[in-house]
Structure 1
Amino acid sequence: MIETIRPLSIEELRAAVAGAAERAIPLEILGRGSKRELGNPVEAQAVIDLSRLAGIQLYEPDELVLKAGAGTSLAEIEAVIAQRGQILAFEPPDLAPLYGGPAGSGSIGGAVACNLAGPRRLKAGAARDHFLGFVAVSGRGEVFKAGGRVVKNVTGYDLPKLLAGSHGTLAVMTEITVRVHPAPEISRTLMLVGLDDARAIEAMAVALGSPHEISGAAHLPAGEAGLSAVDRVAETGAGVTALRVEGPPASVNYRVGALAAWLQSFGAPTLTLEPAESATLWREIRDVSNFAAARLDPRMPLWRLSVPPSEAPRVVAAIQSARPGARHLYDWGGGLIWLALPHAPDAHAAIVRGALQGQGGAPAGHATLIRAELAVRQAVPVFEPEAPALAALSRRVKASFDPLAILNRGRMG
């Protein structure tokens, strides 16, 4: 039986990791375990569970800074800062339901370690862009810290950028400091109804190039729009291209009207969602609710593709041609594709990654297998295979933090 260690302090954590390093015992690192199935299977003889290293340790609303234990739930953080009219601008998605877990069970450590960001990423950036500092334990069992409470006057290596997206393979973070932002006063969404994928991508590009400050741009094909909890979205019976506008009420109302006029050439009927409807729709898009385990056969592999928006319709068409039955939706103006495919022992990896090849065989993006059965994740690289030079660099970085590779061994391949 695998031992689970739940440290109450950084010293307990340091001792546990140091002891594992002395005996070369590989460890699985968990924040709260909500995304445990994200990544390649981990080789581990013990588990480090950080859920007891939780709680908000510092929150200065006027300084727009918050520090919390890595095991602190995102739901707790968002509830506290909402009372002061603030948000995490990178809009971290709640992916727990994708794996059959309860909503709201993810941690701030997990969100940062996976560098997660929702629809506002195209305006506000990813988690790493709001990650100010941390305290962590390396694979040697040594405590170290980097960054601070402000961005300015930081010297040396930007280690927060390095650890964001490392999936717990470089160090075990115990404290995380992030920047918070004022929440927009209101949010409304302009919807273009009935565009196909290619025209929707064009419309989003035009909208994002406009002066109207779009904070979200997504397209749901008819089948996905019909599953929305927002009645006016579901009842369209067609594809929906959603464009979010946020800010002071007078500004938002003006910009929504101006944006509708800006996009008249697309000839699509328009609808405007009010703030409550808008919030529901973007939460669905953020959390990929249509593809949650409770709503979709969990054996269906779920892919997350990052592509140049202009390539997105071609990539999806190529996959659907090779494998009918694929379901998809677009976020980030078409730069992010969520793709659910029928079950297959290889998750259709060759088809998906083959479709990403552009002219001349050059890659036109990368694909991550977000959800699949254990046997599939054992057989298929979950993350996009790295070029040899980049893979060699990654190994050297890994060795500098975790020379015995005891932290989340195998998670990233």
Structure 2
Amino acid sequence: MRPTSEAAVAEMIARADGPLSIRGGGTRGFDALGTLLETGGLSGIPLYDPGSLTLVAQAGTPLAEIEAALEAEGQRLAFEPMDHRGLLGSTGVPTIGGVIAANISGPRRIQAGAARDFLLGVRFVDGLGRVVKNGGRVMKNVTGYDLVKLMAGSHGTLGVLTEVSLKVLPKPEAAACVRVKGLGDADAVTAMARALGSPFDVTGAAHMPAGMDGNPVTMIRIEGFEGSVAYRAGKLQAMFGGQDVTVESDSEQVAAGWHRVRDVEAMHGSGGDVWRVSVKPSDAPAFVDALRQRGAVKRVLYDWGGGLIWVETEPGDDIRPSGFKGHATLIRASADTRQRLARFHPEPAPVAALTRGVRQKFDPRGILNPGLMS
């Protein structure tokens, strides 16, 4: 089913007599369970006001269309959503509804915030076919329950997004990337913590144990007015004096380097499972080292100053140990492994009970992406 209006979405859900698999652009490769309901027919930008930094888009609007509209006005989405197609070997077109439903947030999250932090309002259809509106088109919106934040990251299990309202930001004048070469994982996390704790407004901090030349590289990004960027880049370079440090100030080269981080390009086209792991940054090196001692690790990428780790492992290996203090999501794996291992990290019993209660309220029949997040 591919509805072209919110009313059609509501009718289809109300009449559904079995599970529905909700899909946006089809780029993230979820296994379909039941009848497929695609939101790609809900496309368009009914409102874009550059002066108020506000954009309203239907959920199936291609992300590229939104980014092109913003680029024409010198603006951008601050949360830097990744493109999963290279990592997953998938096709399709990323949509803004899919980005919000999964709360997809890239390297800039450590400075700007997540996708949910720029979500002003939503329209969606719940599991009974009722149209729900929450939020608005301004940041100061405190009326009623904050369903806006609830929908971000719900992966279509609470309702089918039909429209989103977003705050956007001006595109910076310049960008630079300070690269520190040769650091081990623990030293790299320490270096990123120093940069993030500095007054120099870092907008990206990542570490590749094996960069494009095969050697370790730690990347620190800064953005803003040209003079300010040059000053802060010099200060950061001096901060890491004694190390092998270079500064890339060509904006296109900087953007290309961070696209590689954002889209986890080091793991494109390889055969291992890929996990997305969130931990306390100071715990990240020890966690990866423990995996290496097991012989499980093929490739690693640290983002968010070490708070986000992308890990490629041998197929079929569950990296979530007992007592693990973090959150690990299986992003890429074979069909057999996806059947055997839960995609999302198991919730503690009290949290799981709350989750079931919320889903019961929004989808009492349990037909929206059933089993996806359990």
What TM bracket, shorter-length normalisation? over 0.9
1:43 counterpart residue number: 33
- The one-letter code of the counterpart of 2:4 is L
Equivalent residue number for residue 30 of structure 1: 23
Q: Identify which of 350, 367, 373 aligns with 2:334.
A: 373
Cα distance per residue 1:48-78 (max 9 Å; x no partner): 1111101111100011111111011111100
Q: Which amino acid aligns with 2:327?
A: H
| Distance of 2:296 and 2:24 partners within structure 1 | 37
* Paired position in structure 2 for 1:108: 96
Q: Which has the higher contact order (CA 8 A, sep 6+)?
A: 1
Which runs of no fewer than 5 residues in structure 2 stay unpaired?
none
Conservation of the 8 A alpha-carbon contact between 2:344 and 2:373: yes
| Contact residue 296 and residue 317 of structure 2 kept, 8 A | no
Q: Does residue 256 of structure 2 align to residue 280 of structure 1?
A: yes
Residue in 1 that maps onto 2:309: 337
Contact 1:68–1:176 (8 Å) recurs in 2: yes
SS of the residue 1:326 aligns to? strand
* Residue in structure 1 matching 2:231, options 223, 235, 254: 254
- 2:285 is equivalent to residue 309 of structure 1: no
Distance 1:333 1:308, change over 3 A: same
| Residues 370 and 324 of structure 1, relative CA distance in 2, 3 Å threshold | closer
SS of 1:381 mapped into structure 2: coil
Question: How big is the shift at 1:100?
Answer: 1.3
TM-score (norm 2): 0.97
Residue in 2 that maps onto 1:118:
106
Q: Is the 8 A contact 2:267 2:299 kept in 1?
A: no
Matched, 1:393 2:354: yes
Identity fraction in percent:
47
Q: Is the 8 A contact 1:42 1:411 kept in 2?
A: no
Distance 1:17 1:67 in 2: 24
Cα distance between partner residues in 1 of 2:107 and 2:362? 32
Structure-2 separation of matches of 1:281 and 1:79: 20
The CA deviation string for residues 164-184 of structure 1, in whole angstroms up to 9 with x for no partner, is 000000000111111100011
SS in structure 2 at match of 1:369: strand
Q: Give the deviation of 1:153 after TM superposition.
A: 3.7
SS in 2 for 1:245: strand
CA contact (8 A) 1:90 1:126 kept: yes
* Residues 136, 174 of structure 1: 8 Å contact kept: yes
Say whether the 8 Å CA contact 1:319–1:326 is kept in structure 2: no
Between 144-153 and 307-316, report the one with greater CA deviation: 144-153
Alignment of 1:86-105 (within 5 A): 86-102=75-91, 105=93
Q: Does 1:16 align with 2:12?
A: yes
Counterparts of 2:366 and 2:85 in 1: how far apart (Å)?
27
TM-superposition CA deviations, 1:298-326 (whole Å, max 9, x none): xx110000011100000000001102552
1:15 Cα offset (Å): 0.7
SS of residue in 2 equivalent to 1:56: coil
Which range is displaced more, 51-60 or 153-162? Answer: 153-162
Query: Of 50, 62, 71, which residue of structure 2 is paired with 1:82?
Result: 71
Q: Within the alignment, does 1:269 sit opposite 2:244 as a pair?
A: yes
- Residues 154-233 of structure 1 mapped to structure 2, 5 A cutoff: 154-222=142-210, 225-226=211-212
Give the superposition deviation at 1:366. Answer: 1.0
For residues 411 and 147 of structure 1, what CA distance do their matches in structure 2 show? 26
Aligned residue for 2:67, secondary structure, equals helix
AA aligned to 1:381 is: A
Is the aligned partner of 1:412 residue 2:373? yes
Q: Offset of 1:42 from its aligned partner? A: 4.6
- Aligned counterpart for 1:322 among listed residues 278, 283, 294: 294
SS, match of residue 277 in structure 2:
strand
Q: Verify: 1:143 aligned to 2:131, yes or no.
A: yes
* CA distance, structure 2, for counterparts of residue 110 and residue 370 of structure 1: 15
Which segments of structure 1 move beyond 4 Å, counting only runs of 4 or more? none
**Separation of aligned partners in 2, 1:263 and 1:99:** 36
Tell me, yes or no, if structure 1 residue 296 matches structure 2 residue 270.
Answer: yes
Q: How far apart, CA to CA, are the structure 2 residues paired with 1:280 and 1:327? A: 20
Q: CA RMSD in A?
A: 1.2
Take 2:203 and 2:160, find their aligned partners in 1: how far apart are those partners? 33
Q: CA deviation at 1:36?
A: 2.9
Q: Given the superposition, is the C-alpha separation of residues 153 and 164 from structure 1 closer, same or farther in structure 2, using an over 3 Å criterion?
A: closer
Q: Which residue number corresponds to residue 219 of structure 2?
A: 242
Shift of 1:186: 0.9
